[in-house]
Structure formats: C-alpha cells, structure tokens
Amino acid sequence: MAVFIIVGCTFISAEITNTPPSAVITYPHSNAYYQEGSNIVIRVYSTDFGGTFPNGTVENVEFFVDDEKIYETSVHQDHTYTYIWEDVQAGEYRITARATDNDGDSFTSAGVILKVGEAPVIKKGISAGKGKYLGNVMGSSSVRADYLQLWNGVTAENAHKWGSIEGERDVMNWTTGDNIYNFAADNNLVFRYHAIAWGSQYPTWLEDLEPEEFQAEIEEYMAEMAARYPYMDQIDVLNENLYLNTYNGREHAAGTPYFRAGLGGPGETGYDWVIWLFEKAREYFPNSKLVMNDFELENNPDGINEMLDVVKVLRDRGLIDGFGTQAHTFNVDGFWNNPGLLRQRIDMMASSGVPVYVTELDLIGAPEASEANQLRSYQNIFPVYWEHPAVAGITLWGYVEGATWWTGSGIINADGTKRDALIWLEQYMRDQPDVGFPFDGEDMVNEENMVYNGEFNLGTSGWNVQNNAGASSSMEVVNDAGMSGYYALRICPDNAGTASWHIQIRQQTPILNGHSYTITFMAKADEIRNIDVAVQQDGQSFNTHFQQQVNLTTEPQEFTVSFTSSVADPIAALKFYLGGNSACVYIDNVSMMDVTDSSTSLPNMMNKEGNINVYPNPFSDKLFVDVADTSGSSYYEILNINGQVLVEGLINSHKTISTELLTAGIYFLRIMGGNELEIIKLIKN
C-alpha cells in the first residue's frame, strides 16, 4: 500500500506504488444556490484508472458536508456515484467526497461551496434541469440581455489570461476580469478560470526570469486569484501544452518552453514542472477543479495520447480533476459525418479517469462554412459530447455572429435573431429528459416586480433614453458605483436642456385603474441635484399619472414613492427625468410593485388569481393562454414596448398564439374581459 500524506490540499507520496482513485464532484458546482428545504443531488465521478499503475476498482465513495460524513455507496452508473441530500436548510456548506480503491488507498475531492437561502431558485440557461451546465464566454463587462436565458456558465474570453492582467510586472489590472467573475458569482453560474499557465498571451517579462523568480511570480499571481475569486468551479491550470504530436511539429503555445524551464524543467518524470504547477494550484485552490486544457485532440489520437501521458503523472499524485478539450471548429467540424469516431476519441480522453470538460466548442460547418452546414454540424456533433457519460459540461466559445473569434461560429445575430443552429439547440435541450438540475427553478421574470432588469445585471436591456428639445446624454451600465449591487446605470447629460423632462430614462410599466403602486430605487449624483420620478403615458396625449421630485447627494440614497392610479393605461411608462442639470446620475435597484389590497380589487374575473395562465414565459415561437371562468370571449393584444399592437384576437378559454414573427425582446399581453383588463409582461427569447 502506498503511503499518501496530505499537506493542505497537496497530494504527496514518499513512495508511489499505486494510482489513487479519482473523486470529482461534477454536480453541484461551486457557488450553486438552492432554496431552503430543497433536496440536493450530489454527483461524484470516480474511477481507479488513468495513472501509470495497473487499473483497480473503486470500492466505495463517501459524501461529506463540512467534514461530516452523510452517506456512503458502492453503486455507480458509468462511474458516477449519486446521493440526494434531503431537506437542506439555509446556510453555506462545503461538500467533499472521498473515494477508496481495492488497495485501500483513498483520495478526497476538491471542495464545492454551495449556498442555501430563502429565495427561490431562478432558471438560467437552456440546459436548466437537463443535468449538465452549458456555458459561454464573455469578452467584456457588457452583458447581453439574452445571456442568462441561454447560458448558465461563464468563462472570461481574454480577461483572465496572465498577459491581460500583468503585462507590466507587479502592475495588475483585474477590472474586466472582476466584472465578469462578479456577474457569474452574483447569478450563481458555473465559473471557469482561463488560464494560469499558457505559453501565449503571457507577460513577456517572464522570459528573463530565473526559475526561483519565475516560481515566485506565478505563486503571487495564484495567490491574488485565490483572494479575489473564492467560487471558481474549474481552473485551466495548464493550457495548450502539446508539442510532440502537433499538426505543424511545433509547440501549441510558443512560450511554453519558458514555463517548462521556469517551473523546474522535466526532471525525473519528464513532467516535474507540471507536477509543481498543479501542486501549487491544489494548495491555493482547494475548492476548485484543476483542469489541463488543449486543442487538436479529436482529430489527432497521438495528441490525445501525449496529453494522457502528462495526465498519468498527475493522476498518480491526485493532482488533476478534469481533461479539457477545446473542441474548436478546425478539430471537430469534420466529424459531422462520422459521429461514431468522435465518440471513440472522447472515450480515449475519458481513459484519463477524470471527467471530460468541453471548454471552447465552436462549429461553422463542413466541408465549408454556411448556416446550413453549421446546423448539420450541431445536429451531428453536439449530442455526441452532451450525451457522453464522462462529459461533465460544455462551454461554447462565443455565440453572437460577428463577435466570435472564429468567423461564422456565431449562432445568434447581433440583433437577437436566431440562426438555425441555435433554434435546433434550444429544441434539442427541450427534448432532453428533465432530471431536476442544474438551475431548475422559477422563471427569470419576477412577476411581482413590474420593472425588468432593475439591478442592471443585464446591461441596459429593457431601458431606453429619450432626449428632447435639443438635449443630449449618454447612458451606460457601470460597476463599483457603491450602489445596491455590482452594477448601476449612469446617465451623463452632454447638453442637459432647460427642463427636467428634456432627458428621460424610461421603461414601459402598464397600470390598472384603482390600483396602488410603490416605486423604489437607489440613486446618487456626482454633485447635489434634483431629479423627478414619474409614471406617464408613453405616447398619444402623454398624460402624467404621477410625478415627484427627489433630492440627490453624492452618497447613495434609497427612495420610495407611492401613488394610486385613477385610470388604466396599457402604455404607461416609469420615467426618470434628468434634464436641466449637467451632473451625472447613478440609478440602481429599481422596482415598481402593484401593492393593491386584493380584498379591494374589483370582482371581475380578470382579477381573480389563477384565472389566466400564460406559458411559456420567456417564450419562443408559440404562446399559450388559458382563461378560466369566463362567460364569454375575451379580447387579447400583444404590444411592443412602444405600445404598438402587433398581434390581436379573441380568446374563449384557450388560445395558441403564433409568435414566430416577433423578434426577441420585451412585450406586453393585454387581455380585456367585461370592464377590466389584465396586463402581463412577456419576454421572447
């Protein structure tokens, strides 16, 4: 039996005579969120192969919460061991798993930190409830309004590469990286860090360092990472290391020799420098999965074997948790007509004994790029990855056409119209069995708050600025404004005009006759000034239903105003009037709530809870509306945010409404029956 010593989370063996079993928690991810009282599925991937010693068997896997054992099992399906932790109460927990093999050697997984609270879980991404995460990359701090509707994982495209952070020695710039991480953390998404050691986009000043200095610098970098980002689920510790079996006979990353020399050289194992790197990563990141990542794998079995040789020495020491394949178009598109061979190549990767992570997938189609060929590639290639039992999750490397690193790999146009590949991908996900995780919860739309994107986590989506009478201004979402959340809306007048209404920030919020509303928001300004908050008809006669002035200082203040409407106005809008003063204004945490006492509501069928059921919301090509307890027909209209009626008709008790011609965005469903109306905010994906 080998004697293994744990120092911190570093796996050290004075005499390695057996490869320890792997143990990787593939679900939940670090920073996952659950509502209290939930039953939480815990999945552990564990094998006893992939090292340099003969394969063994996993005898059992134990599950721990905050170091207290809660379950043990020897039953698995395709190397995944499962436990359902029932009725979990509010708190923050650290989950680990320990696997023991037939030689009696054990290995304990990296930890996973999860949070449990009172708020419901919000669905995020098209893979919600389908068993695995499906993520994407963010190239900047800007967040598209459709991101959370489509994806539930985040990787920074460039912002976390060492060269982006520390181009000048000891001068670190984390701004964009912090913004991207905080977006993921605030929304409890899977976060992948890309990357620590990569011989491209690295600080060139490293090239002149002696090994001792080189190692000190990379430790300084890792220490800062650990301090800033406690909820990283995965880390690409070593990226693009292949050099023996490559398409051009060269290093995948030209600067890798500097890392190889600076971190200690090949040594006795041939990979001593890699061992040092992963040992340090284990020490600094005890709650993150450590991944080796590369390209040119699927179409190059010799490359897979080269990577497996490195993985073996790490598996012997319990230092690796994931085999990362980038799966770029030039390595995988050619498998559109041979998915069976692609599966064989993934099987080779899975022989590493750890989960396979698809980290940078993009497809353009083959033999030439076209939307039709891209669709065919997605149809024939994506399911091979998604349905492979060793694949724990997939990240796409961009999705907006014209904004991806590889031309033609986008699956949605900049205006929000979907390409055929995305339409197919959404349907494919809908057709997958519901297993209850991840992100299986309520709709993203908060039906109590009439305001969409009031925390500005989705950029300026849902909001627009109107400049009148020659005034001009700029509107943008900023971070670190000291408001309620990480993001806030900043409006800076260029030409402030002479009246407050000359500059307006607005969002449509239809109101009902006799209903009472409470508006809350946080605001400050660069200098003391006033602004007005109003609810006004956004068109036609521009009747003002409510308006009140508030005084801003340079410190954030919370404001609450209320009013009762004497009319029903389906095109009313919540507005902030900012003209007449050139000082910039910051706004955050905006909500408008219908606080009408249900006991005083008019006794019309439209006001009875549960009488109207609209689904799905967000919707795609069809919208279903059920109206119960009606004595006759009701009339419906779908309006855009400008109050234009786009679709209309009659409903008896059930109606299927075709919405194929509507573009992605915010809409309002107005249903009128008797003397009352109901207005429901809708979002089209």
**Domain of residue 637, residue span:** 608-684
Choose among 331, 176, 321, 182: nearest CA to 238.
321
Cis preceding-peptide flag for 339 (omega within 30 of 0)? no
Choose among 363, 361, 680: nearest CA to 510.
680
For the record, the structure tokens of 413 come out as: 């146009």
DSSP symbol at 604? -
The reported pLDDT for the residue numbered 57 is: 97
Q: Are residues 235 and 373 in the same domain?
A: yes
Q: Are residues 489 and 522 in the same domain?
A: yes
Q: Are residues 616 and 593 in the same domain?
A: no
Percent of the chain with pLDDT over 70: 92
Among 598, 625, 656, the domain boundary falls at: 598
The reported pLDDT for the residue numbered 600 is: 37
Helix, strand or coil, per DSSP, at residue 347: helix
Pairing relation of β-strands 190-198 and 153-156?
Answer: parallel
Q: Are residues 292 and 208 in the same domain?
A: yes
pLDDT digits (tens, 9 = 90+) for 149-174: 899 999 999 999 999 999 999 999 99
Judged against a pLDDT cut of 90, whether residue 482 lies above it is answered with: no
Which pLDDT band holds residue 200 (cuts at 50, 70, 90)?
A: very high
Classify the C-alpha dihedral 46-47-53-54 as positive or negative.
Answer: positive
pLDDT digits (tens, 9 = 90+) for 38-76: 999 999 999 999 999 999 999 999 999 999 999 999 999
The Cα 356–Cα 347 span in angstroms is 9
Residue 18 lies in a domain: no
Residue 90 lies in a domain: no
The reported pLDDT for the residue numbered 631 is: 56
Q: Are residues 184 and 233 in the same domain?
A: yes
The reported pLDDT for the residue numbered 596 is: 79
Q: Are residues 147 and 232 in the same domain?
A: yes
**Degrees to nearest 5, angle at CA 463 with 460 and 465:** 100
Residue 200 lies in a domain: yes
Report how many domains make up the chain: 3
Residue 443 lies in a domain: no
Q: Are residues 477 and 569 in the same domain?
A: yes
The pTM for the full model equals 0.70
Q: Are residues 614 and 548 in the same domain?
A: no
Q: Are residues 425 and 473 in the same domain?
A: no
Q: Are residues 488 and 517 in the same domain?
A: yes
Among 431, 448, 472, the domain boundary falls at: 431
Judged against a pLDDT cut of 80, whether residue 489 lies above it is answered with: yes
> In this structure, what CATH number is given to the domain that contains residue 628?
2.60.40.3080
Which of 4-8, 300-304, 533-537, 671-675 bottoms out in mean pLDDT, i.e. has the lowest? 4-8
Helix, strand or coil, per DSSP, at residue 278: helix
Partners of 138 in beta bridges: 156
Among 598, 617, 652, the domain boundary falls at: 598
> In this structure, what CATH number is given to the domain that contains residue 589?
2.60.120.260
Which of 250-254, 514-518, 554-558, 586-590 bottoms out in mean pLDDT, i.e. has the lowest? 514-518
Percent of the chain with pLDDT over 90: 69
**How many angstroms separate the Cα of 137 from the Cα of each of 2, 150, 167, 170, 239?**
42, 12, 22, 27, 16
pLDDT mean over 663-683: 75
CB 421 within 8 A of CB 374: yes
Partners of 615 in beta bridges: 624
Q: Are residues 544 and 620 in the same domain?
A: no
pLDDT digits (tens, 9 = 90+) for 605-656: 333 344 678 878 888 888 888 876 555 667 788 877 656 678 877 787 778 8
Position of tokens 């992570």? Answer: 357
Residue 40 lies in a domain: no
Judged against a pLDDT cut of 80, whether residue 539 lies above it is answered with: no
Residue 17 lies in a domain: no
Average model confidence (pLDDT) for the chain? 90
> In this structure, what CATH number is given to the domain that contains residue 237?
3.20.20.80
Q: What is the DSSP string of 450-490?
A: -SSSTT-TTTTTT-EEEE-TT-EEEEEEEE-SSSSSSEEEE
Judged against a pLDDT cut of 90, whether residue 519 lies above it is answered with: yes
CB 442 within 8 A of CB 121: yes
Q: Are residues 416 and 547 in the same domain?
A: no
Residue 53 lies in a domain: no
Strands (E), 214-327: 234-239, 289-294, 322-325
Name, in order, each residue with C-beta under 8 angstroms of 610's C-beta and a sequence gap of 6 or more: 628
Residue 388 lies in a domain: yes
Name, in order, each residue with C-beta under 8 angstroms of 434's C-beta and a sequence gap of 6 or more: 129, 130, 440
